[in-house]
């Protein structure tokens, strides 16, 4: 009887250990699709404590200081459909810096635009070569995706890529964040975005303009897609309006250092 009880206790102990291990494993491997509520009345949106902490504790950013009316413009560039030149023209006109996250397809097909981004003082970041879900890839695949972009960018510009990463579709987990930190990358998410990526459902420049004005807040990291004609056409009106409201556009590097950010050239 005593032997049977001991065996039963051993089984329960092992089962409890396995359940705990599985729970921890799934918590660490959980795929997070980044999303954040809409900001209103110039107040910063709040994704919740769990999301905020996992970002802030892992060399990642989704928002800047609530005490400064600073805006960070970022563009995801999966491919080119004719809008990026206009975006660059407007940024140059208003002397506004931006961060462009590029894929392998964009680098392969648009070397001249990538050179222009770098030459005009913008930062070009890594959006992976094939645009996979980085929360589901091996470490080897993760490194390959980033290395291919780094190598092509250096081939085009002669410069090393600044290590800013935007995971495709905002999918990440603790493993992905660890991989990024090991390669010296900062993961850049966002605090303001809207449905602008579907080229068949563009709603006009006024729509994009109103979406941003309604949600703008101090420290906003704005995600826009360069394939959106709405975005390209609204910027020339949007930038001076936001400046009139007291906002400044700064390089994402301003978030990384207490020193003065690299000036726009």
Q: Tokens 């994402």 identify what position?
A: 252
The Cα angle at residue 82 between residues 252 and 71, in degrees rounded to 5: 20
> Could you say which of 76, 122, 217, 230 is catalytic?
76
> Could you say which of 122, 217, 225, 230 is catalytic?
225
Paired tokens of 166: 């935007």
- Tell me the torsion sign for CA atoms 11, 12, 16, 22: positive
> 3-class DSSP state for residue 172?
strand
Q: Is 76 a catalytic residue?
A: yes
Distance between CA 132 and CA 18 in Å, rounded? 31
- 127, 232, 123, 182: CA torsion to nearest 10: -20
The answer to whether 99 and 76 have CB atoms below 8 angstroms apart is no
Q: Which residues are catalytic?
A: 76, 225
């Amino acid at each position: 009887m005593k032997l049977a009880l001991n065996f039963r206790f051993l089984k329960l102990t092992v089962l409890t250990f396995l359940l705990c291990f599985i729970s921890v494993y799934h918590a660490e491997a959980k795929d997070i699709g980044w999303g954040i509520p809409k900001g209103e009345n110039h107040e910063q949106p709040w994704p919740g404590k769990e999301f905020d902490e996992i970002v802030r504790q892992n060399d990642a950013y989704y928002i800047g200081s609530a005490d400064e009316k600073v805006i960070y413009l970022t563009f995801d560039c999966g491919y080119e459909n004719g809008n990026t030149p206009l975006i660059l023209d407007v940024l140059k006109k208003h002397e506004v810096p931006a961060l462009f996250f590029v894929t392998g397809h964009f680098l392969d097909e648009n070397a001249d635009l990538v050179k222009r981004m770098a030459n005009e003082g913008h930062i070009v970041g890594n959006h992976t070569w094939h645009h996979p879900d980085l929360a589901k890839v091996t470490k080897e695949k993760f490194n390959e995706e980033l290395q291919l972009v780094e190598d092509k960018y250096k081939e085009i510009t002669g410069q090393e890529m600044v290590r800013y990463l935007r995971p495709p579709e905002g999918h990440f987990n603790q493993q992905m964040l660890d991989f990024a930190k090991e390669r010296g990358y900062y993961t850049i998410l966002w605090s303001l975005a809207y449905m602008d990526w579907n080229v068949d459902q563009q709603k006009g420049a006024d729509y994009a303009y109103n979406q941003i004005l309604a949600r703008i807040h101090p420290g906003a990291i704005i995600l826009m897609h360069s394939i959106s004609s709405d975005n390209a056409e609204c910027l020339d009106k949007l930038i001076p309006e936001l400046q009139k409201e007291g906002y400044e556009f700064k390089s994402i590097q301003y978030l990384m250092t207490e020193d003065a950010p690299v000036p726009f050239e």
